[in-house]
Structure 1
Protein backbone atom coordinates (compact mmCIF):
# COMPACT_ATOMS: atom_id res chain seq x y z
CA UNK A 1 0.00 0.00 0.00
CA UNK A 2 1.28 3.45 -0.87
CA UNK A 3 0.60 6.11 1.72
CA UNK A 4 -0.81 9.29 0.19
CA UNK A 5 0.38 12.74 1.17
CA UNK A 6 -1.71 14.74 3.64
CA UNK A 7 -2.51 18.30 2.62
CA UNK A 8 -0.72 21.49 3.65
CA UNK A 9 2.87 20.23 3.48
CA UNK A 10 3.71 23.25 1.31
CA UNK A 11 3.29 25.56 4.32
CA UNK A 12 7.02 25.42 5.15
CA UNK A 13 8.13 26.56 1.70
CA UNK A 14 6.89 30.16 1.82
CA UNK A 15 6.88 31.43 5.39
CA UNK A 16 9.26 32.72 8.10
CA UNK A 17 10.77 29.24 8.44
CA UNK A 18 12.34 29.48 4.98
CA UNK A 19 13.92 32.81 5.91
CA UNK A 20 15.25 31.35 9.16
CA UNK A 21 16.90 28.56 7.19
CA UNK A 22 18.70 31.20 5.13
CA UNK A 23 19.94 33.18 8.12
CA UNK A 24 20.35 30.38 10.67
CA UNK A 25 18.62 32.48 13.33
CA UNK A 26 15.28 32.73 15.10
CA UNK A 27 13.29 33.14 17.12
CA UNK A 28 10.39 31.24 15.59
CA UNK A 29 7.30 29.62 17.05
CA UNK A 30 4.53 27.30 16.01
CA UNK A 31 1.41 29.29 16.90
CA UNK A 32 -1.91 27.57 17.55
CA UNK A 33 -5.27 29.13 16.77
CA UNK A 34 -5.83 29.65 20.51
CA UNK A 35 -2.63 31.76 20.70
CA UNK A 36 -0.45 29.18 22.46
CA UNK A 37 3.05 29.00 20.98
CA UNK A 38 5.74 26.28 20.82
CA UNK A 39 9.32 27.51 20.26
CA UNK A 40 11.32 26.23 17.28
CA UNK A 41 15.00 25.74 18.13
CA UNK A 42 16.43 27.23 14.93
CA UNK A 43 19.88 28.06 16.31
CA UNK A 44 20.38 24.50 17.59
CA UNK A 45 19.26 23.03 14.27
CA UNK A 46 21.73 25.25 12.41
CA UNK A 47 24.62 24.51 14.81
CA UNK A 48 26.89 21.45 14.76
CA UNK A 49 25.40 18.29 16.32
CA UNK A 50 25.11 18.43 20.10
CA UNK A 51 25.39 15.66 22.70
CA UNK A 52 21.79 14.48 22.20
CA UNK A 53 22.21 14.46 18.43
CA UNK A 54 25.29 12.29 18.85
CA UNK A 55 23.23 9.57 20.50
CA UNK A 56 21.31 9.36 17.21
CA UNK A 57 24.40 9.57 15.05
CA UNK A 58 26.23 6.84 16.97
CA UNK A 59 23.30 4.46 16.53
CA UNK A 60 23.30 5.14 12.78
CA UNK A 61 27.06 4.69 12.52
CA UNK A 62 26.99 1.49 14.56
CA UNK A 63 24.51 -0.02 12.09
CA UNK A 64 26.64 0.99 9.09
CA UNK A 65 23.55 1.05 6.87
CA UNK A 66 22.26 3.86 4.63
CA UNK A 67 20.21 6.43 6.57
CA UNK A 68 17.45 8.82 5.51
CA UNK A 69 16.64 11.95 7.56
CA UNK A 70 12.99 12.92 7.09
CA UNK A 71 12.53 16.64 7.53
CA UNK A 72 16.29 17.16 7.60
CA UNK A 73 16.07 20.96 7.99
CA UNK A 74 19.50 22.59 7.68
CA UNK A 75 21.17 19.20 7.52
CA UNK A 76 23.46 18.88 10.53
CA UNK A 77 22.72 15.16 10.97
CA UNK A 78 23.00 14.21 7.30
CA UNK A 79 26.24 16.14 6.85
CA UNK A 80 27.80 14.56 9.94
CA UNK A 81 26.86 11.04 8.87
CA UNK A 82 28.34 11.59 5.43
CA UNK A 83 31.49 13.09 6.95
CA UNK A 84 31.97 9.71 8.65
CA UNK A 85 31.48 7.90 5.35
CA UNK A 86 27.94 6.64 5.90
CA UNK A 87 25.55 6.91 2.93
CA UNK A 88 22.81 9.33 3.99
CA UNK A 89 20.10 11.45 2.41
CA UNK A 90 18.09 14.35 3.77
CA UNK A 91 14.55 15.15 2.63
CA UNK A 92 12.86 18.49 3.27
CA UNK A 93 10.16 20.58 1.59
CA UNK A 94 11.97 23.87 2.30
CA UNK A 95 14.37 24.78 -0.51
CA UNK A 96 16.54 26.99 1.71
CA UNK A 97 16.94 24.12 4.19
CA UNK A 98 18.01 21.78 1.40
CA UNK A 99 20.46 24.40 0.10
CA UNK A 100 21.93 24.76 3.59
CA UNK A 101 22.30 20.98 3.90
CA UNK A 102 24.13 20.82 0.59
CA UNK A 103 26.33 23.73 1.68
CA UNK A 104 27.49 21.58 4.60
CA UNK A 105 28.40 18.79 2.21
CA UNK A 106 25.27 16.72 2.79
CA UNK A 107 23.02 15.14 0.18
CA UNK A 108 19.41 16.32 0.24
CA UNK A 109 16.28 16.43 -1.90
CA UNK A 110 13.63 19.16 -1.87
CA UNK A 111 10.61 16.87 -1.60
CA UNK A 112 7.91 15.80 0.76
CA UNK A 113 8.42 12.52 2.60
CA UNK A 114 5.21 11.46 0.86
CA UNK A 115 6.71 11.99 -2.61
CA UNK A 116 8.48 9.21 -4.47
CA UNK A 117 11.98 8.90 -2.94
CA UNK A 118 15.16 7.00 -3.84
CA UNK A 119 15.71 3.62 -2.23
CA UNK A 120 12.15 3.05 -1.07
CA UNK A 121 11.98 -0.15 0.97
CA UNK A 122 15.77 -0.38 1.29
CA UNK A 123 16.85 2.22 3.86
CA UNK A 124 18.53 0.71 6.91
CA UNK A 125 17.78 3.62 9.26
CA UNK A 126 15.31 6.51 9.21
CA UNK A 127 15.45 9.62 11.39
CA UNK A 128 12.53 11.71 12.63
CA UNK A 129 14.25 14.21 14.92
CA UNK A 130 13.43 17.74 16.15
CA UNK A 131 9.69 17.20 16.34
CA UNK A 132 9.33 15.85 12.80
CA UNK A 133 6.95 13.14 13.97
CA UNK A 134 4.46 15.99 13.60
CA UNK A 135 4.86 16.23 9.82
CA UNK A 136 1.44 16.21 8.16
CA UNK A 137 -0.50 16.27 11.42
CA UNK A 138 -1.24 12.53 11.45
CA UNK A 139 1.59 10.50 13.03
CA UNK A 140 -0.02 7.19 12.05
CA UNK A 141 0.11 8.11 8.38
CA UNK A 142 3.70 9.34 8.70
CA UNK A 143 4.81 6.18 10.52
CA UNK A 144 3.18 4.03 7.84
CA UNK A 145 5.05 5.98 5.16
CA UNK A 146 8.31 5.58 7.09
CA UNK A 147 7.74 1.83 7.24
CA UNK A 148 7.44 1.85 3.44
CA UNK A 149 10.81 3.58 3.13
CA UNK A 150 12.64 1.25 5.51
CA UNK A 151 13.91 -2.20 4.71
CA UNK A 152 12.35 -5.10 6.65
CA UNK A 153 13.88 -4.95 10.15
CA UNK A 154 15.08 -1.40 9.40
CA UNK A 155 15.25 0.99 12.35
CA UNK A 156 13.39 4.24 12.95
CA UNK A 157 15.02 6.66 15.41
CA UNK A 158 12.35 9.13 16.49
CA UNK A 159 12.36 12.05 18.90
CA UNK A 160 9.25 12.36 21.06
CA UNK A 161 7.84 14.90 23.50
CA UNK A 162 8.78 14.70 27.21
CA UNK A 163 5.18 14.09 28.39
CA UNK A 164 4.66 10.40 27.61
CA UNK A 165 0.89 10.47 27.06
CA UNK A 166 0.81 13.70 25.06
CA UNK A 167 -1.18 13.41 21.82
CA UNK A 168 -1.70 16.94 20.52
CA UNK A 169 -2.95 17.38 16.93
CA UNK A 170 -3.56 20.97 15.99
CA UNK A 171 -3.55 23.56 13.23
CA UNK A 172 -0.60 25.95 13.53
CA UNK A 173 1.29 28.65 11.68
CA UNK A 174 4.99 29.51 11.81
CA UNK A 175 5.37 32.90 13.52
CA UNK A 176 8.44 35.15 13.57
CA UNK A 177 9.53 37.65 16.24
CA UNK A 178 7.98 40.54 14.28
CA UNK A 179 4.58 38.80 14.21
CA UNK A 180 4.66 37.59 10.60
CA UNK A 181 2.93 34.23 10.12
CA UNK A 182 3.00 31.67 7.35
CA UNK A 183 -0.05 29.75 6.10
CA UNK A 184 -1.85 27.37 8.50
CA UNK A 185 -1.08 23.67 8.44
CA UNK A 186 -1.69 20.53 10.49
CA UNK A 187 0.89 19.46 13.07
CA UNK A 188 1.18 16.92 15.87
CA UNK A 189 3.16 16.46 19.10
CA UNK A 190 3.33 12.98 20.64
CA UNK A 191 4.99 11.56 23.74
CA UNK A 192 6.47 8.09 24.02
CA UNK A 193 3.36 6.11 24.96
CA UNK A 194 1.21 7.83 22.36
CA UNK A 195 3.90 7.23 19.73
CA UNK A 196 4.21 3.54 20.61
CA UNK A 197 0.45 3.09 20.28
CA UNK A 198 0.52 4.58 16.78
CA UNK A 199 3.68 2.68 15.83
CA UNK A 200 2.27 -0.70 16.82
CA UNK A 201 -0.63 -0.27 14.41
CA UNK A 202 1.75 -0.12 11.44
CA UNK A 203 4.05 -2.93 12.62
CA UNK A 204 6.86 -1.14 14.49
CA UNK A 205 8.15 -2.60 17.75
CA UNK A 206 10.20 -0.86 20.42
CA UNK A 207 13.87 -1.83 20.75
CA UNK A 208 15.23 1.06 22.83
CA UNK A 209 14.26 4.27 24.61
CA UNK A 210 16.58 6.91 26.03
CA UNK A 211 16.91 10.49 27.20
CA UNK A 212 19.82 12.83 26.46
CA UNK A 213 20.14 16.44 27.67
CA UNK A 214 16.40 16.61 28.25
CA UNK A 215 15.40 15.22 24.85
CA UNK A 216 13.55 11.90 24.50
CA UNK A 217 14.03 9.24 21.83
CA UNK A 218 12.72 5.85 20.73
CA UNK A 219 14.22 3.20 18.46
CA UNK A 220 11.53 1.30 16.57
CA UNK A 221 12.11 -1.83 14.47
CA UNK A 222 10.18 -2.16 11.21
CA UNK A 223 8.21 -5.39 11.32
CA UNK A 224 6.54 -4.96 7.93
CA UNK A 225 7.42 -7.74 5.45
CA UNK A 226 7.96 -7.02 1.79
Structure 2
Protein backbone atom coordinates (compact mmCIF):
# COMPACT_ATOMS: atom_id res chain seq x y z
CA UNK A 1 0.00 0.00 0.00
CA UNK A 2 1.41 3.39 -0.95
CA UNK A 3 2.04 6.05 1.65
CA UNK A 4 -0.96 8.26 2.29
CA UNK A 5 -0.59 11.95 1.54
CA UNK A 6 -0.74 13.81 4.80
CA UNK A 7 -3.41 16.51 4.81
CA UNK A 8 -2.42 18.80 7.67
CA UNK A 9 -5.34 21.18 7.23
CA UNK A 10 -8.92 20.19 6.59
CA UNK A 11 -10.38 23.21 4.80
CA UNK A 12 -13.64 21.35 4.16
CA UNK A 13 -14.42 21.75 7.86
CA UNK A 14 -14.63 25.55 7.61
CA UNK A 15 -17.51 25.34 5.15
CA UNK A 16 -19.94 23.69 7.54
CA UNK A 17 -19.92 25.93 10.62
CA UNK A 18 -23.14 26.51 12.54
CA UNK A 19 -25.41 29.07 10.91
CA UNK A 20 -24.04 28.71 7.38
CA UNK A 21 -26.44 28.09 4.45
CA UNK A 22 -25.76 24.34 4.43
CA UNK A 23 -26.60 23.98 8.11
CA UNK A 24 -29.76 26.01 7.69
CA UNK A 25 -30.83 23.87 4.71
CA UNK A 26 -30.30 20.63 6.63
CA UNK A 27 -32.35 21.88 9.55
CA UNK A 28 -35.29 22.71 7.26
CA UNK A 29 -34.75 19.89 4.77
CA UNK A 30 -35.15 22.34 1.89
CA UNK A 31 -33.07 24.30 -0.62
CA UNK A 32 -32.30 25.88 -2.90
CA UNK A 33 -28.59 25.51 -2.17
CA UNK A 34 -25.58 25.78 -4.47
CA UNK A 35 -21.81 25.49 -4.70
CA UNK A 36 -20.57 28.79 -6.17
CA UNK A 37 -17.23 29.16 -7.95
CA UNK A 38 -15.34 32.45 -7.94
CA UNK A 39 -16.50 33.12 -11.51
CA UNK A 40 -20.15 32.94 -10.39
CA UNK A 41 -20.90 29.47 -11.83
CA UNK A 42 -23.43 27.60 -9.65
CA UNK A 43 -23.78 23.87 -8.99
CA UNK A 44 -27.24 23.04 -7.54
CA UNK A 45 -27.19 20.80 -4.45
CA UNK A 46 -30.07 18.34 -4.13
CA UNK A 47 -30.93 19.04 -0.48
CA UNK A 48 -34.49 17.71 -0.68
CA UNK A 49 -33.29 14.34 -2.00
CA UNK A 50 -30.51 14.17 0.58
CA UNK A 51 -33.00 14.81 3.38
CA UNK A 52 -35.58 12.30 2.07
CA UNK A 53 -35.55 8.54 2.56
CA UNK A 54 -33.18 6.49 0.41
CA UNK A 55 -34.66 6.11 -3.09
CA UNK A 56 -34.42 3.23 -5.58
CA UNK A 57 -31.06 4.45 -6.92
CA UNK A 58 -29.64 4.64 -3.39
CA UNK A 59 -30.95 1.19 -2.53
CA UNK A 60 -29.18 -0.27 -5.57
CA UNK A 61 -25.92 1.22 -4.24
CA UNK A 62 -26.57 -0.28 -0.80
CA UNK A 63 -27.36 -3.68 -2.31
CA UNK A 64 -23.80 -3.80 -3.64
CA UNK A 65 -22.18 -3.01 -0.26
CA UNK A 66 -20.16 -5.65 1.55
CA UNK A 67 -19.49 -6.06 5.26
CA UNK A 68 -19.51 -3.03 7.54
CA UNK A 69 -20.07 0.22 5.64
CA UNK A 70 -18.40 3.61 6.21
CA UNK A 71 -20.37 6.48 4.64
CA UNK A 72 -17.88 9.31 4.11
CA UNK A 73 -19.62 12.68 4.14
CA UNK A 74 -22.87 11.07 5.23
CA UNK A 75 -24.82 14.35 5.20
CA UNK A 76 -28.27 14.07 6.78
CA UNK A 77 -27.92 10.30 6.97
CA UNK A 78 -30.38 8.67 4.58
CA UNK A 79 -27.94 5.91 3.55
CA UNK A 80 -26.75 5.13 7.08
CA UNK A 81 -30.37 5.01 8.26
CA UNK A 82 -31.39 2.73 5.38
CA UNK A 83 -28.53 0.33 6.12
CA UNK A 84 -29.49 0.29 9.79
CA UNK A 85 -33.11 -0.46 8.90
CA UNK A 86 -31.83 -3.46 6.94
CA UNK A 87 -29.92 -4.64 10.00
CA UNK A 88 -26.57 -3.94 8.34
CA UNK A 89 -23.68 -2.33 10.28
CA UNK A 90 -22.85 1.19 9.12
CA UNK A 91 -21.22 4.35 10.40
CA UNK A 92 -21.51 7.82 8.91
CA UNK A 93 -18.88 10.51 9.30
CA UNK A 94 -19.34 14.19 8.49
CA UNK A 95 -17.73 17.47 9.53
CA UNK A 96 -21.14 19.13 9.86
CA UNK A 97 -22.70 18.99 13.32
CA UNK A 98 -26.17 19.45 11.83
CA UNK A 99 -25.61 16.52 9.43
CA UNK A 100 -24.46 14.20 12.21
CA UNK A 101 -27.36 15.26 14.44
CA UNK A 102 -29.89 14.53 11.71
CA UNK A 103 -28.33 11.13 11.02
CA UNK A 104 -28.56 10.21 14.69
CA UNK A 105 -32.21 11.32 14.84
CA UNK A 106 -32.95 8.95 11.98
CA UNK A 107 -31.51 6.10 14.04
CA UNK A 108 -28.14 5.90 12.31
CA UNK A 109 -24.70 5.88 13.90
CA UNK A 110 -22.52 8.86 13.03
CA UNK A 111 -19.47 10.78 14.20
CA UNK A 112 -18.48 14.39 13.59
CA UNK A 113 -15.14 13.68 11.99
CA UNK A 114 -13.19 14.46 8.81
CA UNK A 115 -12.17 11.47 6.71
CA UNK A 116 -8.57 12.63 7.24
CA UNK A 117 -8.92 12.40 11.04
CA UNK A 118 -8.16 9.16 12.93
CA UNK A 119 -11.23 6.94 12.55
CA UNK A 120 -12.57 3.80 14.22
CA UNK A 121 -11.65 0.39 12.79
CA UNK A 122 -9.15 1.70 10.23
CA UNK A 123 -8.19 -1.04 7.79
CA UNK A 124 -11.26 -3.16 8.59
CA UNK A 125 -14.19 -1.57 6.76
CA UNK A 126 -15.74 -3.76 4.09
CA UNK A 127 -17.17 -0.89 2.03
CA UNK A 128 -16.71 2.87 1.87
CA UNK A 129 -19.15 5.21 0.16
CA UNK A 130 -18.43 8.52 -1.58
CA UNK A 131 -21.94 9.45 -2.70
CA UNK A 132 -23.56 12.78 -3.67
CA UNK A 133 -20.32 14.19 -5.03
CA UNK A 134 -18.23 13.44 -1.95
CA UNK A 135 -15.29 12.32 -4.07
CA UNK A 136 -14.74 16.09 -4.17
CA UNK A 137 -13.92 16.31 -0.45
CA UNK A 138 -10.66 18.21 0.07
CA UNK A 139 -10.32 19.09 -3.61
CA UNK A 140 -7.83 16.26 -4.24
CA UNK A 141 -9.39 12.93 -5.31
CA UNK A 142 -6.00 11.21 -5.41
CA UNK A 143 -5.33 12.03 -1.75
CA UNK A 144 -8.85 10.96 -0.86
CA UNK A 145 -8.46 7.62 -2.64
CA UNK A 146 -5.22 7.03 -0.77
CA UNK A 147 -6.94 7.74 2.53
CA UNK A 148 -9.89 5.47 1.74
CA UNK A 149 -7.44 2.68 0.88
CA UNK A 150 -6.15 2.92 4.46
CA UNK A 151 -9.64 2.64 5.91
CA UNK A 152 -10.78 -0.39 3.93
CA UNK A 153 -9.76 -3.97 4.50
CA UNK A 154 -7.68 -5.70 1.84
CA UNK A 155 -9.94 -6.25 -1.13
CA UNK A 156 -12.53 -3.86 0.32
CA UNK A 157 -15.03 -2.05 -1.89
CA UNK A 158 -15.33 1.68 -2.63
CA UNK A 159 -18.45 2.99 -4.37
CA UNK A 160 -18.12 6.49 -5.84
CA UNK A 161 -20.80 8.69 -7.37
CA UNK A 162 -19.34 10.57 -10.34
CA UNK A 163 -20.40 13.40 -12.63
CA UNK A 164 -22.69 11.74 -15.19
CA UNK A 165 -21.84 11.74 -18.89
CA UNK A 166 -18.59 13.70 -18.72
CA UNK A 167 -14.87 12.91 -18.75
CA UNK A 168 -14.31 15.66 -16.20
CA UNK A 169 -11.53 16.28 -13.68
CA UNK A 170 -12.06 19.70 -12.13
CA UNK A 171 -10.43 21.20 -9.01
CA UNK A 172 -12.02 24.43 -7.80
CA UNK A 173 -12.47 26.73 -4.84
CA UNK A 174 -16.14 27.07 -3.93
CA UNK A 175 -18.54 28.44 -1.34
CA UNK A 176 -21.94 27.16 -0.28
CA UNK A 177 -24.61 29.74 -1.07
CA UNK A 178 -28.39 29.93 -0.92
CA UNK A 179 -31.02 31.78 -2.96
CA UNK A 180 -30.74 34.84 -0.69
CA UNK A 181 -27.03 35.20 -1.37
CA UNK A 182 -25.82 34.02 2.06
CA UNK A 183 -22.46 32.27 1.71
CA UNK A 184 -20.21 30.04 3.75
CA UNK A 185 -16.42 30.04 3.90
CA UNK A 186 -14.43 29.09 0.76
CA UNK A 187 -13.10 25.55 0.51
CA UNK A 188 -11.46 23.34 -2.16
CA UNK A 189 -13.68 20.91 -4.04
CA UNK A 190 -13.34 18.54 -6.98
CA UNK A 191 -15.69 17.15 -9.62
CA UNK A 192 -14.76 14.03 -11.53
CA UNK A 193 -16.41 11.84 -14.16
CA UNK A 194 -16.12 8.07 -14.32
CA UNK A 195 -13.38 7.89 -17.02
CA UNK A 196 -11.11 10.28 -15.12
CA UNK A 197 -11.80 8.51 -11.83
CA UNK A 198 -10.91 5.12 -13.29
CA UNK A 199 -7.62 6.45 -14.70
CA UNK A 200 -6.75 7.99 -11.35
CA UNK A 201 -7.72 4.86 -9.45
CA UNK A 202 -5.70 2.58 -11.72
CA UNK A 203 -2.57 4.63 -11.14
CA UNK A 204 -3.16 4.35 -7.39
CA UNK A 205 -3.49 0.56 -7.52
CA UNK A 206 -7.28 0.20 -7.32
CA UNK A 207 -9.08 -2.35 -9.49
CA UNK A 208 -12.22 -1.33 -11.39
CA UNK A 209 -15.11 -3.47 -10.21
CA UNK A 210 -17.93 -1.97 -12.27
CA UNK A 211 -19.74 1.16 -13.37
CA UNK A 212 -23.39 1.98 -13.93
CA UNK A 213 -25.76 4.85 -14.59
CA UNK A 214 -29.34 4.89 -13.32
CA UNK A 215 -31.86 7.65 -12.68
CA UNK A 216 -29.52 10.22 -14.20
CA UNK A 217 -26.80 9.39 -11.66
CA UNK A 218 -23.46 7.67 -12.37
CA UNK A 219 -21.41 5.37 -10.15
CA UNK A 220 -18.17 3.42 -10.19
CA UNK A 221 -17.08 0.59 -7.91
CA UNK A 222 -13.41 0.10 -7.08
CA UNK A 223 -11.69 -2.78 -5.32
CA UNK A 224 -8.97 -1.96 -2.81
CA UNK A 225 -5.40 -3.19 -3.20
CA UNK A 226 -5.08 -6.74 -1.99
CA UNK A 227 -2.53 -9.52 -1.93
CA UNK A 228 -5.46 -11.91 -2.10
CA UNK A 229 -8.12 -11.23 -4.74
CA UNK A 230 -10.58 -13.42 -2.82
CA UNK A 231 -10.12 -11.57 0.46
CA UNK A 232 -13.02 -12.22 2.80
CA UNK A 233 -15.09 -9.27 4.03
CA UNK A 234 -14.39 -8.20 7.62
CA UNK A 235 -16.42 -9.44 10.52
CA UNK A 236 -19.11 -6.77 10.60
CA UNK A 237 -19.95 -7.17 14.26
CA UNK A 238 -16.31 -6.81 15.26
CA UNK A 239 -15.90 -3.59 13.27
CA UNK A 240 -18.96 -1.93 14.73
CA UNK A 241 -18.09 -3.08 18.24
CA UNK A 242 -14.64 -1.59 17.73
CA UNK A 243 -15.89 1.86 16.82
CA UNK A 244 -18.22 1.87 19.81
CA UNK A 245 -15.42 0.91 22.17
CA UNK A 246 -12.87 3.37 20.75
CA UNK A 247 -15.12 6.40 20.40
CA UNK A 248 -13.79 9.04 22.82
CA UNK A 249 -16.28 11.16 24.72
CA UNK A 250 -15.30 14.28 22.80
CA UNK A 251 -16.27 12.64 19.51
CA UNK A 252 -19.59 11.15 20.52
CA UNK A 253 -22.48 11.41 18.12
CA UNK A 254 -24.03 14.82 18.62
CA UNK A 255 -27.53 16.11 19.01
CA UNK A 256 -28.51 19.57 17.91
CA UNK A 257 -28.59 22.26 20.52
TM-score of Structure 1 vs Structure 2, range by shorter chain: over 0.9
Question: Which sections of structure 2, spanning at least 5 residues, go unmatched?
Answer: 229-257
Alignment partner of 1:162: what SS?
coil
Give the structure with the larger strand fraction: 1
Contact 1:204 1:224 in 2 (8 A): no
Match of 1:20 in 2: 25
Offset of residue 51 of structure 1 = 1.4
Offset of residue 19 of structure 1 = 1.4
Match of 2:249 in 1: none
CA distance in 2, matches of 1:38, 1:137: 15
Contact 1:147 1:222 in 2 (8 A): yes
CA distance in 1, matches of 2:227, 2:29: 41
RMSD (Å), alpha carbons:
1.3
Match of 1:152 in 2: 154
Deviations 1:40-66 (A, max 9, x none): 000000000111111111112xx3x10
Offset of residue 162 of structure 1 = 1.1
Contact 1:160 1:189 in 2 (8 A): yes
Deviations 1:186-226 (A, max 9, x none): 00000001111111122111111111101000110001559
Match of 2:46 in 1: 41
Alignment of 1:1-226 (within 5 A): 1-5=3-7, 6-14=9-17, 15-60=20-65, 63=66, 65-224=67-226
CA distance in 1, matches of 2:86, 2:15: 30
Q: TM-score, normalised by structure 2?
A: 0.84
Offset of residue 164 of structure 1 = 3.4
Deviations 1:8-65 (A, max 9, x none): 12233222111111111111000000000000000000000111111111112xx3x1
Question: Which sections of structure 1, spanning at least 5 residues, go unmatched?
Answer: none
Offset of residue 4 of structure 1 = 2.3
Rg (Cα) greater in structure: 2
Alignment partner of 2:60: what SS?
helix
Equivalent residues, number: 223
Q: TM-score, normalised by structure 1?
A: 0.95
Offset of residue 2 of structure 1 = 4.2
User: Following TM superposition, where does structure 1 have runs of at least 4 consecutive aligned residues deviating by more than 6 angstroms?
Assistant: none
Contact 1:147 1:224 in 2 (8 A): no
